[in-house]
Structure formats: C-alpha cells, structure tokens
Amino acid sequence: MDMLDGEGGVRDYNLERLIMLSDGVFAIALTLLALELRPPEHWDGSALGLLDGMILPLMAFLISFMSIGFYWTGHRRSFKRFRKADGALTALNFVLLALVTLVPVGTRMIIGHGVKGDSVLLYAGLLCAIGVANAALWGYAAFVGRGIIDPAMPFGLRLVIFLILLLVPGTMGTLGVLAGSGGSPWLFVLMGVLWVGVAVIRRRVGKGYEG
C-alpha cells in the first residue's frame, strides 16, 4: 500500500500536502544559504586571496547545508512511515520548519562573528532545537498519535529511532558549548561526521524493516 494511503486505502491528502510544504521549506532554506556567500570586502582578485577570505563562510555554508540536508533526509524517512497527519503532527511539523528557516540567519551570525562566544552557542542551539523538534515529531507519531505510524513497525525499532534522534541534539549542544568556550573551530567539522554516523546507524537499524 502507498504510505500516503490512510485507513481503507483512502489517500490522505492532508499528509501529502504537509510533505509537499515541508519539502518546499527545506529547499528554500538550502537556497538561502548561498546568499550568505560573498567575496571578501577587500579581495585582491586572486584565487588564493578569495580562498583565504572565504574559508569561514564556506565552512559555515557547508555545515549548514549538511545539517539541513541531514534533517530533510530524516524527515523524509520518518514521513515514509506515516499513514496520516492530524492536527498535533501538523503543529509539530510547523515548529520544525520554523526552526529550519532560521538556519540561514544562524549561518550569517557565524560568518559575521566567527566561531566563538555567543554566536556559536546560538548557532549550535538552533541546530539542537531542530533536533529536539525532529525527535518530538517522531515521538508523537510513534507513541502518542493514533494510527499515524505504520502498524507493521515494531515498537523496539520505533524506540531505537527515537533515541537516535535524541542523540543528535545532545551531541550538538555539547559541541556548541566546547566551541563557544574557546575550543577549536574545527569542532564544527565533527558535526559533519556526526551527520554521517547517525545516518548510517539509523539506516542499519531499519535495514530489516521495509516501511
């Protein structure tokens, strides 16, 4: 059965439209990140000068792009399991989307103020909040909402996915505190490693289940 089909095989257009809206918001947020990339103010026109002045903006762009891409991938995989959308699921999804739209703003803070102090704490806090919202979305669908999740999915798998989703904001918050308190800016490179690691773990966990 199509995962957009509700009970009795009736297509749930509420869920379908929610997915379409979500994809649009994620796509716009990804696109807006590129607007923050500008040549250095006093660029001498050389390739080396451009690279030297663009290291931080490019790093911020890359981490933000990977972060949004990671959350979109998780969002897609989660909604693949859903059979319908109710009011609470829609509200939680809007909270998630609202936070995603702020990522370009957080990226601008990092580019303008560097990986230090409050700017990095706010940036990491934003990514952490997206992770919490993402976990809450899954938690509601898997354990609270009636008839939202695919009933064929084992409870144990639902729980493991929920715990993995909670691991992301916890780790993100720790990295933000370390970087903001004077740690190496390369700590943010670990975010990219985290995205890949969590994606691999989640994929392996759900390998035996065809949702």
Q: What is the CA radius of gyration of the chain?
A: 19
Predicted TM-score (pTM) of this structure: 0.78
User: What digits encode the pLDDT tens for the residues 147-204?
Assistant: 898 888 888 889 888 988 887 776 766 666 666 555 555 665 666 666 566 666 666 6
| Cα–Cα distance for residue pair 90/88, rounded to 1 Å | 5
Q: Which of 113, 99, 18 is nearest to 64 (CA)?
A: 99
pLDDT band with cut points at 50, 70 and 90 for residue 128:
confident
Give yes or no for a contact between 60 and 110, defined as CB atoms under 8 angstroms apart. yes
Structure-token pair, residue 14: 């509420």
**3 state DSSP class of 154:** coil
- Give the pLDDT mean for 22-39: 89
CB neighbours of residue 20 within 10 Å: 9
**From 1.10.3470, 3.40.50, 1.10.1760, 1.20.1410, which CATH number describes the 7-205 domain?**
1.20.1410
Predicted confidence at residue 25, as pLDDT, reads 97
136 against 189, higher pLDDT: 136
| Cα–Cα distance for residue pair 126/7, rounded to 1 Å | 37
CB neighbours of residue 104 within 10 Å: 20
Give yes or no for a contact between 140 and 82, defined as CB atoms under 8 angstroms apart. no
Task: Please enumerate, as own/partner, the contacts of 111-120 that have beta carbons within 8 Å and a separation of 24 or more.
Answer: 111/36, 111/56, 111/57, 111/60, 114/56, 114/185, 115/56, 115/179, 115/185, 115/188, 116/179, 116/180, 116/182, 116/185, 117/180, 118/180, 120/176, 120/179, 120/180, 120/188
User: What digits encode the pLDDT tens for the residues 51-93?
Assistant: 666 777 888 888 889 889 989 988 998 998 899 999 999 999 9
